[in-house]
Amino acid sequence: MALPRLLRFPNPVNEVAARVVAGGVVAMAIAFLVTGQGWILVPLAYGFVARVLTGPRLSPLGQFATRVAAPRLGTKRVPGPPKRFAQGIGAVVTVAAALAWWAGASALVVAATLESVFAYCIGCRAFAALMRVGVIPPDVCEACNDLRLQLRPR
């Protein structure tokens, strides 16, 4: 069964265009690392997913590389499947990074709100659970081990 033309990955691939795309990825990744602006991960992840699904067709960076940069820099044909595999690895890593960034920011808001508004500390509950199952030894926190110590007036 043949895939629709849109979902076909080119074979062979222009290595020069692939290197231009890689350079764009490096620039975006450095921009994220330097600025800490998590939104940069979204177009970065989108680009990888678009390129693994369609080659350069739906990727703005892929379009720039194949239509603008590579025609001026030259052509070197290489097999497409390893490049698609590499784009897949990039997609997994950047989608995971974008989700972790988003989840981290969201989890931070939720955890801090629970603590500040409801006096419910997620970390404290996790600590107690780890003590109950023996991961954290009882001598680490005697007060945690005996809740009566917390109830005594000071």
Contact 20, 64 (CB under 8 A): yes
Prediction pTM value: 0.69
Question: Is the Cα torsion angle 99, 32, 45, 80 positive or negative in sign?
Answer: negative
pLDDT tens by residue, 18-50: 999 999 999 999 999 899 898 999 999 999 999
Q: Residue 55: name the closest of 122, 7, 119 by CA.
A: 7
Interatomic CA distance for residues 154 and 7, integer angstroms: 69
Average pLDDT of the chain, as a whole number: 85
